[in-house]
Structure 1
Amino acid sequence: MALALLAGCSEPEAPAAGPPLFAPVPPDSSGVTFANVLDEDSTFNIINYLYFYDGGGVAVGDVNGDGLVDLYFTANRRPNRLYLNRGGFTFEDVTEAAGVAGRGTWTKAATMADVNGDGWLDLYVSNVEHGPMHGRNELFLNRGPGDDGLPRFEERAADYGLDVAGLNTQAVFFDYDRDGDLDVYLVRHSVHDVGQIGGVEFRAKHHEAAGDLLLRNDDGRFVDVTEAAGIYSSVLGYGLAAAASDLNRDGCPDLYVSNDFHENDYLYLNNCDGTFRETIYTATGHTSLASMGSDAADINNDLRPDVIVTDMLPFREDIRRTAVSEEGYDVYRIKLNRGYHHQFTRNTLLINLGQGHFIDLAFYAGVAATDWSWAALLADLDLDAYNDLFVTNGVYRRPNDLDYLRFVVQPQVQAALRNEVIPPAVLDSVLAWMPSVPLPNAAFHNRGDLTFAERAAAWGLGTPGFSNGAAYADLDNDGDLDLVVNNLNAPATIYRNRAREHTGRHYLTVVLEGEPPNRFGIGAKVIVRHGGTAQLREQFPTRGWASSVDPRLHVGLGDDATVDTLTVVWPDGRFQTLTGLAADRTLTLRQADASDAYPYPPQAPTNPLFADVTDEVALDFVHHENAFIDFTREPLMP
């Protein structure tokens, strides 16, 4: 066990010569002074809302058509902010003129998507409606720049059927039925007592506020097709994130949904007929336990999307020894007996083996332990043609600390906490017992052999703090991906990437012009071949934690100055291939230029090596496990 835990902590590489890859841009220089300052009081705090310290998100994209990526930050209890990119890493706050501050009293996430198909990126904001939190989801339609050049937005969620109330976490826009317009999957969390482990039969019971929703776009009006499409929408689901990707390479977008606590993660494979089948039991041997942020991208350049999910396994030994993390074996067995999948406290890196099967290599890869982590973003940060990993980190107060738990279970404390308004002195004592430990974000360099090297400090990303939502984008159009991070109780951070000037490596930026109404080509995939390497990019901007990334696709090319072939497969299955492309530029691809149907690989082997002959040999044997639990007598048994 000790060896396994050590293996989950990647060894840092020797520091690279020269300055770090990233440099923070100070707020007084960038003009981005946004900070998600969290006000906690005796009526609303971590005691009566478990996700109080989950932070906000960031959505990025060009909202005014000037070719520069703009920034939108969500604040939990304060107004959201929109910043226009004025070039040179300077930004202007245009929130009031644009009309996008929002009305929610608790805001979680934001997504940029062209919801009405007019070619302008709109803003969809996820708000929570529960207890003291009031606010339905908001849709800010982008009406384009006014006479002053500033973008104007109009809130129209009710008109589109998107003013959803409940425990909303995030929204994923994608065309699941491939009819040409954008549908949306709404991730939502629950509020039931996590100390009670209900059976999996509760998955069949819809919950109005907590259950995830799938809304189909019917001529501009979003209608609920959750049950008809085979999507779970129950009180069991503690949905915190969802990643869209064509995981089985059949041309239809699938979903990986991260669920906190004892409910399984969901892996929905698209049946390509308007329905999904949930496959987590057969897709992988286990998942993370407290699944949080996620991303889907190809890390080993085999053209299959892999999946990363964050959890809460500490990398520091002192925190690991003073906090509750893994469940006891008895609880684990109870969950299995009640129908749940195998779940363990660790990040999971699910390598796609094809045919709907995955294997977790997080410990082998060195990315299993990053502590209380939120966003996971897979992107080529150093332009070497392999996707690296960036993870945001830190919880403002740690409610799983052993000393805090020993204090809070005292009868007199429990009695005080049951009050609708917690006495201020009691709340102060409770919060004082929760440690507040700033932690650095994690950044892992992909070595290209299914292992990663921890590079946060060497890359200039190792400043301790409490970070939540994050997004990547080329903010200065120089060919490398910069990072934008939403921090809790601290100013947001913008990291300038200097990979181009430090390494001289090459890149290609791809802009997709889809046919209306899916003008940004959501669901398209780009396959780039260069110098014996093949890379895959998929156009699904919602990624990580409560955030969405730049809809322009970015490909690092290493030392190759030429792309041998580039194939774009559009959401409707048509494709086009270009050859002999020069690197270090922005390439615009148009769906109107595509023609033939892309030849997807068969979903089942045409000539399998093995055949199931069990019925032919009349084998009548079922193994029954001995009920004796060895761990009860020998808890340290390996």
Structure 2
Amino acid sequence: MQTLVTPPFQKRAFFTLLLVVVLAVIFWTQSRYPALDEKAMMSGAIQLEDSLSFEAKYPILDSMPVWKKIGLSTLNWINTNKKGMTFGLLFGAAMLTFFGYLRQRSFKDGYLNSLLGLFIGAPLGVCVNCAAPIAKGLYAAGMRAETTLSAMVASPTLNAVVMTMLISLLPLYMVVTKVVLSLFVILIAVPLVCRMLPRAQLEVPPPVPATGWDLPDTAPQSEPLLAAFWGFVKAYAVNLWFILRTTVPLMLLAGFLGAVVGTLIPPETLEGVSFSVFIVVAVALVGLFLPVPIAFDVVLAGALLSAGLAPGYVMALLFTLGIFSIYSFFIVAGSISLRAALLMSGVIVVLGIGAGIGAQSYYNWQSKRALNILLSEDHSTPFSLIGMAHAQETTQGITLTATPFTPPSPAADTPFTRLEGWEIGLDKPIEFSFQDMWPPFWEGRSLSSGDVDGDGDTDLLIASTYEGLYLYDNDGAGQFTRRPLDLGALASAPVFNAALVDLDGDGWLDIFVTTYQRGNFLITNNTGDFSAAGITPVANREDAILSLALSFGDVDRDGDLDVALGNWAAGWYRRIPGEESRNRILLNEAGTLNGSRFTDLPGIPGETLSILFSDINGDGISDLLVGNDFEIPDYFYLGDGKGGFDAITYAQNIIPHTTTTTMAVKTADLANDGTPEIYLAQIAGRSSGVSSTLKMQPLEQYCDGIKRAEDKETCARNMTIKSWYKSGNNFDPTYAARCATLSGRDQRECKGMLVKDLAIQQNDPAVCDLIPADQSLAKAYCSAHFRPIRQPTQPEADAAIQQILRSNVLLEQNGAQGLRFEDTAQTRGLDVGGWSWDTKIADFDNDGAQDVYIVNGTWVPNEVSPSNLFFHNQGDGSFTESSGVFGLEDYLMTAAATAFDLDGDGDLDMVTHPVNGPLTVFRNNSQKGNAIAFRLEDRTGKNRFGIGAVVRITAQDGTTQSRELQLGGGFMSFDAPMAHFGLGSQTGISSASIRWPDGSESSLEALAAGATYTVSR
């Protein structure tokens, strides 16, 4: 150190270097890299809540005035950048102090100085805003301008984790362009810019403030340790104050100015705007101006590309956003010169404009080339998706029959044992290929449990777009056998939903089927048998595409079950549907349901993923909860008992907010107080602070745990395609050549899917006509995308309930204020659920408290796959994520699940339906905790299974529980109609009551645990 450090400051330099290392290690390990890793994990799922920030600590509502939006956006920007900025200030002062002690701080060659800046900046991992104070410190310490500027640019652009996100979210040509141009700026442009500056601005200036390195020749060669330490402290304090007073005011000003621009020119401004050189100039200027956090450029570019923004605009933003900013401009102008700041800005803007024009030109050329490749073969075999329907103890008249539980399943290391379906006879193979890599097909198919043959065991029905339906009979011991079905034309139909429900009131579970663009159907159960002769169409809207959500209930209290159709149109890449997605209630006429009697629900039509009949206000009448994906609001309707529904509005102040990307809606009495809570699940993963809850596995390991060889082979083939194929607006035209590397159906489907992607990217429905005739699904996706959308009106928007991002919502009634709900999800520990889909609320360990199980995952581009999450009810109102402890972890992307007692032992098991994975069974091995269960048989009308009834029990210790028999909610999942109660150590109940769907009440005396009681009236 003697040769590097000016005597006598060797010890001071050592202390300063130690501080530099400590600051860097703390920041990297406790903040920056954990945060970046989380952003990388959630990259495809990150939702930007503010024009300048990943997360909005202070939510910004559309109804707010502009001045308030700007103010809150500024506060959000400060909150987002506070850790990085604090590090930048502390680290900048440390660098100023350290380099002030060095004899030599630069090379003679400007290019070498820029290379030094690259090696200093790239590992730091701070945003361009946070790098500015560090650059200030470097320059004030005597570092050359080349080093200072290169370090400032390298830090936000060349971070390794950010590069991983870049590769994950964006086409290769954009990745290469950004990296090459960033290196060009750092290593070439910066030295050239510095050559245009006066020599005085490049020469090493005196340290500010002076550290004492201009010493007389007689200066001592060393100093005492304590004196050195005290000297280091004083120098650092002076330098820190210098950095603070010269950078913090400019930082706050930059944040405010950025908020002004971000608020007045939000990212969605360019949606639907065709490419123009004049506009790309404006885009580059705005990108250069905005002071965004690290990785924001990558995430925003990915989101805008998915939304359909022209690739040229995306590329211009990707390059100019985050490499420089108004804050960088202030710091460079104040530290070096205004000329330096203007030259740097000019270089970056010109390169950004060139990158945008070049990217758009390249995309146009590749698109034409891709079409030539994809259409080089003739496919003339016609096939159409269109053409089918659119649409024994007796008391109080009650008979009680007890069926004792079987002995418990064998004990195991965890409460649940994970099996693959084929191990218990559920031998359905993986049905997933290239054409399924598009919504809604990438979200799986439905599961429904129920006793179809009346033998007392719960059977399983699985929807299939390959076979129509799979029906498995349960032998009572938890082993299943597939039953052949005569489905006629439905055998080849793309079936999504298949619900077991008795619609004609004969006591046998029928099958209600929804298909993709081939209509809805009812398959009548003829005393346990199904045949093509029993299939009848059930009309929906003539323009309907798919009823992706279903719920059943007696909405007019006439004794039979009606159905709510949650209609869905196109999803991820369209977001705002047209009237074809308006939801509809079909009214049952004395056991006849054909769709001729219906009510279209008022409100804005949305992409409905979940719909549920449930009594949320305790009046005994079915209400209706509708969960819509994306920006279209959810709707809660209060029923009048006559088939009519009134929407709850924002002005009524009943519901504070709902989720935005709602995947599942459930109601349940989580607090055992007799009042149901409402739980809404969505994409609930923040870009920071989620590692303690979410569990992630690299996609490379996705197929590793699959046992059956043919399933693993199918899985691996699809994951290989997923590794390069990004669909819709994220599509890269260079994918076209990859189709030739595939074989069989994958090759044919690849060509059809890629032409569809080109049509969407080019916003040209005429390209849909070029899809080969045998690729009917791809053509259907394409035509659905270009249907007219229906924009919400202002009165509709004003009436809509507010939505929030990144958190699930638990609405709990506040009894002191009438019908008022408050969101307690975060308080209860139920706010973070990952990419949530179906949600099971039940007592899975028979301790008397209901737990929450959320199946998880998405085919949307991501580098990881999340586990399902199990939130164990602690009995005190809080929930703890315990999937590992309970044996319920599973990293296969899963959207549908059903919970039922498959072996009759008194505890609830589960079957899930993963995407690109085998059916999965979670067998409950519980050895402790008593339970009691109830089935209802209502012979007073045609709602024979008592859907909508509420069963309440009082245990021997006086505690109460309640269950509502529901058929709907969640996501494409239908559970057998049974009320299951865990009792813990209680050996029975002291009483029970039933509120039947027609409002009448029945009461039961004390009953012993250990049995399922069938209650008939």
- Per the normalisation by structure 2, the TM-score is 0.47
CA contact (8 A) 1:57 1:486 kept: yes
Q: Which has the larger radius of gyration?
A: 2
Q: Is the 8 A contact 1:262 1:335 kept in 2?
A: no
Which residue of structure 2 lines up, in the alignment, with residue 304 of structure 1?
675
Q: Write the distance in 2 (CA, Å) between the matches of 1:302 and 1:119.
A: 32
| Aligned with residue 171 of structure 1, among 541, 550, 563 | 550
Q: How many angstroms apart in 1 are the aligned matches of 2:555 and 2:490?
A: 28
1:65 equivalent among 440, 447, 454: 454
Whole-angstrom distance in 1 between the partners of 2:533 and 2:895: 26
Superposed displacement of residue 317, structure 1: 4.5
Q: Give the aligned partner of residue 464 of structure 2.
A: 75
Alignment partner for residue 377 of structure 1, among 835, 840, 845? 840
Out of 268-277 and 486-495, give the one that drifted further.
268-277
Native 8 Å contact 1:261 1:289 kept in 2: yes
User: Does the aligned pair in 2 maintain the 1:139–1:162 contact within 8 Å?
Assistant: no
- Equivalent residues in 2 for 1:129-528, closer than 5 Å: 129=517, 135-145=518-528, 151-154=529-532, 156=534, 158=536, 161=539, 165-191=544-570, 207=579, 209-219=580-590, 220-223=592-595, 226-227=598-599, 231-232=601-602, 234=604, 236-281=605-650, 282-314=653-685, 317=688, 340-345=800-805, 346-353=807-814, 355-396=818-859, 398=860, 434-435=861-862, 437-499=864-926, 501=927, 503=928, 505-515=929-939, 516-528=941-953
Does the aligned pair in 2 maintain the 1:36–1:486 contact within 8 Å?
no
Contact 1:383 1:480 in 2 (8 A): yes
Q: Is the 8 A contact 2:416 2:923 kept in 1?
A: yes
Distance 2:582 2:422 in 1: 42
Matched residue, 1:114: 502
Gap regions ≥5 residues in structure 2: 1-54, 60-410, 697-793
1:252 aligns to what SS in structure 2? coil
The amino acid across from 1:347 in the alignment is N
In the other structure, the counterpart of 1:10 is none
Inter-partner Cα distance in structure 1 for 2:552 and 2:678:
18
The 8 Å contact of residues 4 and 363 in structure 1, kept in 2 or not, is answered as no
Q: Counterparts of 2:840 and 2:949 in 1: how far apart (Å)?
A: 19
Pair 356,271 (structure 1): closer, same or farther in 2 beyond 3 Å? farther
Amino acid corresponding to residue 23 of structure 1 in structure 2: T
| Alpha-carbon separation, structure 2, partners of 1:583 and 1:518 | 27
Aligned Cα root-mean-square deviation (Å): 3.1
Any idea what SS the aligned residue of 2:827 has? Answer: helix
2:519–2:537: 8 Å Cα contact kept in structure 1?
A: no
Task: Give the deviation of 1:3 after TM superposition.
Answer: 9.8
Deviation digits for residues 584-610 of structure 1 (CA, Å, limit 9, x no counterpart): 11212123xxxxxxxxxxxxxxxxxxx
Q: Distance in 2 between matches of 1:545 and 1:4?
A: 31
Distance in 2 between residues matched to 1:2 and 1:159, nearest whole Å: 48
Please say if residues 104 and 127 of structure 1, whose CA atoms lie closer than 8 Å, have aligned partners that are also in contact: no
The Cα shift of 1:184 comes to 0.7
Distance in structure 2 (CA, Å) of the matches to 1:581 and 1:181: 30
Pick one of 461, 476, 487 that aligns with 1:87.
476
Q: 1:436 to 1:85 in 2, by over 3 A?
A: farther
Note if contact 2:668-2:963 (Cα within 8 Å) is conserved in structure 1: yes
CA contact (8 A) 1:138 1:163 kept: no
Q: Distance in 2 between matches of 1:562 and 1:372?
A: 39
Shift of 1:463: 2.3
Q: In the alignment, which residue of structure 1 is the partner of 2:966?
A: 540
What one-letter code is carried by the residue in structure 2 that aligns with 1:458? Answer: V
* Counterpart-to-counterpart distance in 2, 1:361 and 1:507: 28
Q: CA deviation at 1:380?
A: 0.6
DSSP 3-state at the match of 1:152: coil
Q: CA separation in 2, counterparts of 1:335 and 1:159?
A: 37
Which amino acid in 2 is paired with 1:40? F
**Amino acid in the other structure paired with 1:357:** R
Say whether the 8 Å CA contact 2:463–2:498 is kept in structure 1.
yes
Counterparts of 1:117 and 1:561, CA distance in 2: 35
Select the structure that is richer in helix.
2
Which amino acid is the alignment partner of residue 551 of structure 2?
V
**d(CA) in 2 for partners of 1:214 and 1:335?**
24
Q: 1:105 to 1:36 in 2, by over 3 A?
A: farther
Q: Measure, in 1, the Cα distance between the counterparts of 2:683 and 2:537.
A: 40
**3-state SS in 2 of match to 1:53:** helix
Shift of 1:86: 1.8
Secondary structure class of the residue paired with 2:884: coil
**1:71–1:84 Cα contact (<8 Å) kept:** yes
1:309 is paired with a residue whose SS is strand
Q: More displaced, 210-219 or 274-283?
A: 274-283
Q: Distance in 2 between matches of 1:195 and 1:160?
A: 27
CA deviation string 1:214-262 (max 9, x = no partner): 01112314445554xx72275x311111122111111111111101111
- Residue 123 of structure 1 pairs with residue 499 of structure 2: no
Structure 1 residue 566 corresponds to structure 2 residue 935 = no
Query: Could you say what secondary structure the match of 1:142 adopts?
Result: coil
Distance change in 2, residues 1:506/1:319 (3 Å): closer
Distance 1:251 1:20 in 2: 40
The CA deviation string for residues 415-434 of structure 1, in whole angstroms up to 9 with x for no partner, is: xxxxxxxxxxxxxxxxxxx3
2:865 is matched by which residue type in structure 1? P
Deviation at 1:97, TM superposition (A): 3.8
1:25 aligns with 2:422: no
- In 2, are the aligned partners of 1:25 and 1:493 still within 8 Å (CA)? yes
**Residue 672 of structure 2 aligns to a residue in which SS?**
coil
Distance 1:166 1:450, change over 3 A: same
Mapped pair 1:575 → 2:944: no
Question: Deviation at 1:458?
Answer: 0.7
CA contact (8 A) 2:551 2:968 kept: yes
CA distance in 2, matches of 1:510, 1:4: 47
Determine the C-alpha separation between the residues in 2 that align with 1:290 and 1:78: 30
Q: Deviations over 1:258-313 (max 9, x none)?
A: 01111111111112232111115232111101011121111001111111111112
Q: Structure 1-normalised TM-score?
A: 0.73
The CA distance in 2 between the partners of 1:510 and 1:34, in whole Å, is 31
Q: Is the 8 A contact 2:612 2:968 kept in 1?
A: yes
> What SS does structure 1 have at the residue aligned with 2:551?
strand
Asked whether the 8 Å contact 2:550–2:968 carries over to 1, the reply is yes
Q: CA deviation at 1:509?
A: 1.1
Q: For the Cα contact (< 8 Å) 1:511–1:587, is it kept in 2?
A: yes
Equivalents in 2 of 1:308, 1:479: separation in Å? 26
Contact 2:649 2:800 in 1 (8 A): no
Query: 1:437: how far off?
Result: 2.5
Report if the CA contact (8 A) 1:139-1:155 is conserved: no
| 1:107 to partner: Cα distance | 2.6
Quote how far apart the aligned CAs of 1:4 are.
11
Contact kept in structure 2, 1:265 and 1:280, CA below 8 Å? no
Question: Quick one: distance in 2 between partners of 1:100 and 1:495?
Answer: 33
Aligned length: 503
Q: Deviations over 1:76-132 (max 9, x none)?
A: 4554311111233211111x2454993464332221100111111111122121xxx
